[in-house]
């Protein structure tokens, strides 16, 4: 089973390149990809997918599940109408704090600060100086910050991001609030028959947290979503902001303890019968129609990576 990992769909992905980076699909390509999935593969929803993996139902030929991470407003405004037209069910994983506060996930805020600052140098918390003269130097400083910030959660994380925005005197504008869904839109996805799940509270790398923080990120996001949406939340996606891996056996155990039935990772590959449903692999959809067809056909034919 091919579980596709999308994030965002927009008419013109370039307009958000400084914040969202390369995770945005163009509307034109996404629509063509969904038409192909509906026509040439077998779209299934995540609940069915869980039953196949657990051996409770037979796999159809070439099953494909569409998923979205993070909770961007275009998921509701742009992607859902296309999915509905094509008859493709999807699962949308929400970063609860980002929807609650209408702020971009922290990696996007940091990317914007490092890419657009006028400062030519920056000193990190360990007093290490970084040059920010060229795009490559900015990218290196950004990635080093991500490696540290992915181990933080909650208020500590928020304070750290704010400090960098202040140090670099560069911060995403208020209009970026409109890039995140609100709860009414999340409920709208659910009303339209799509599945909504958790992408944690504050988007850390769960493999690098203390166990109390892992528990909070998994169970508090589930609890808050259930309050906001009014239905049980059974599915989670482990964020992958930086470092590898983005889950461990502890993550899996804590997901089960929190009451999740399935969890998707960012490990590349197909999901198979008898896989642990709390460690499902996904495929990254390429930015072209032929690329996605090739990826899926190659994976279903059993060819390596
Ligand atoms: Zn994410």
Give 44-84 as a DSSP string.
--HHHHHHHHTTSS---SSEEEEEE-S-BHHIIIIIHHHHH
Q: Residue 88 pairs with which residues in a beta bridge? A: none
Query: pLDDT tens for residues 159-168?
Result: 999 999 999 9
Whether 70 has a pLDDT exceeding 60, the answer reads: yes
Instruction: Find the 203 Cα to ligand 1 centroid distance in Å.
Output: 6
Half-sphere exposure of 286 (CA within 13 A, CB side): 9
Distance (angstroms) between ligand 1 centre and the Cα of 267 equals 13
pLDDT given at position 224: 98
pTM: 0.97
Kindly give the distance from the C-alpha atom of residue 239 to the centroid of ligand 1, in angstroms, as a whole number: 5
Q: What is the whole-number distance in angstroms between the Cα of residue 34 and the centre of ligand 1?
A: 21
In the reported structure, the alpha carbon of residue 151 is separated from the centroid of ligand 1 by a whole-number distance in angstroms of 14
Lowest mean pLDDT among 75-79, 200-204, 267-271: 267-271
* CB-CB contact of 67 with 6 (8 Å): yes
pLDDT confidence of residue 303 = 72
- Asked if 242 contacts 214 with a C-beta cutoff of 8 angstroms, the reply is no
Rounded Cα distance, 290 and 281, in Å: 21
State the helix-helix crossing angle for 154-167 and 106-116, rounded to 10 degrees. 10
Confidence tier at 46 by pLDDT (50, 70, 90):
very high
pLDDT at 214: 98
Angstrom distance (rounded) from CA 191 to CA 193 = 5
Could you tell me the two tokens for 209? 């947290």
Distance from Cα 58 to the centre of ligand 1, integer Å: 31
Is the per-residue pLDDT at 173 higher than 60? yes
Write the pLDDT tens digit of every residue in 216-242: 999 999 999 999 999 999 999 999 999
What's the gap in Å between 105 CA and the centre of ligand 1?
A: 8
Calculate how far, in angstroms, residue 21's C-alpha sits from the geometric centre of ligand 1: 12
51 CA distance to ligand 1 centroid (A)?
A: 25
Q: Give the pLDDT score at 304.
A: 59
Residue 181 has what pLDDT?
98
pLDDT at 59: 86
Ligand 1 centroid from CA 304, angstroms: 26
- Dihedral over alpha carbons 34, 184, 24, 103 (to 10 degrees): -170
How remote is the CA of residue 120 from the centroid of ligand 1, in Å?
29
Q: What's the CA-to-centroid distance between 106 and ligand 1, angstroms?
A: 10
Cis omega before residue 257 (within 30°)?
Answer: no
pLDDT value, residue 302: 82
Rounded to the nearest integer, the mean pLDDT of the chain is 96
Question: Cα of 240 to ligand 1 centre, how many Å?
Answer: 6
Q: Is the confidence at residue 305, as pLDDT, over 80?
A: no
Residue 227 CA to its chain's centroid (Å):
21
Measured in Å, residue 221 CA sits from the centre of ligand 1 at 14
Residues 17-36 have pLDDT tens digits of: 999 999 999 999 999 999 99
pLDDT of residue 95 exceeding 80: yes
């Amino acid at each position: 089973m091919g579980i596709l990992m999308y994030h965002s769909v927009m008419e013109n992905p370039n307009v958000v390149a400084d914040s969202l980076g390369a995770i945005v699909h163009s509307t034109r390509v996404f629509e063509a990809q969904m038409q192909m999935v509906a026509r040439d593969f077998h779209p299934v929803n995540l609940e069915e997918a869980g039953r196949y993996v657990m051996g409770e139902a037979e796999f159809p030929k070439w099953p494909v599940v569409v998923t979205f991470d993070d909770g961007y407003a275009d998921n509701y405004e742009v992607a859902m109408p296309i999915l509905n037209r094509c008859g493709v069910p999807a699962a949308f994983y929400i970063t609860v704090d980002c929807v609650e506060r209408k702020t971009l996930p922290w990696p996007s805020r940091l990317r914007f600060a490092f890419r657009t600052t006028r400062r030519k140098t920056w000193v990190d918390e360990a007093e290490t100086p970084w040059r920010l003269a060229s795009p490559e130097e900015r990218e290196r400083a950004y990635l080093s910050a991500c490696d540290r910030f992915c181990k933080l959660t909650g208020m500590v994380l928020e304070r750290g991001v704010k400090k960098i925005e202040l140090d670099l005197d560069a911060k995403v504008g208020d209009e970026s609030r409109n890039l995140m869904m609100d709860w009414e839109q999340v409920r709208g996805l659910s009303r339209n028959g799509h599945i909504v799940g958790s992408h944690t509270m504050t988007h850390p790398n769960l493999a690098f947290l203390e166990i109390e923080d892992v528990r909070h990120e998994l169970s508090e996001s589930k609890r808050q979503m259930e309050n906001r949406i009014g239905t049980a939340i059974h599915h989670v996606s482990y964020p992958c902001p930086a470092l590898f891996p983005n889950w461990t056996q502890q993550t899996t155990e804590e997901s089960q303890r929190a009451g999740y039935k399935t969890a998707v990772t960012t490990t590349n590959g197909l999901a198979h019968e008898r896989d642990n449903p709390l460690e499902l692999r996904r495929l990254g959809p390429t930015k072209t129609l032929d690329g996605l067809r090739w990826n899926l056909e190659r994976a279903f034919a059993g060819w390596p990576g």
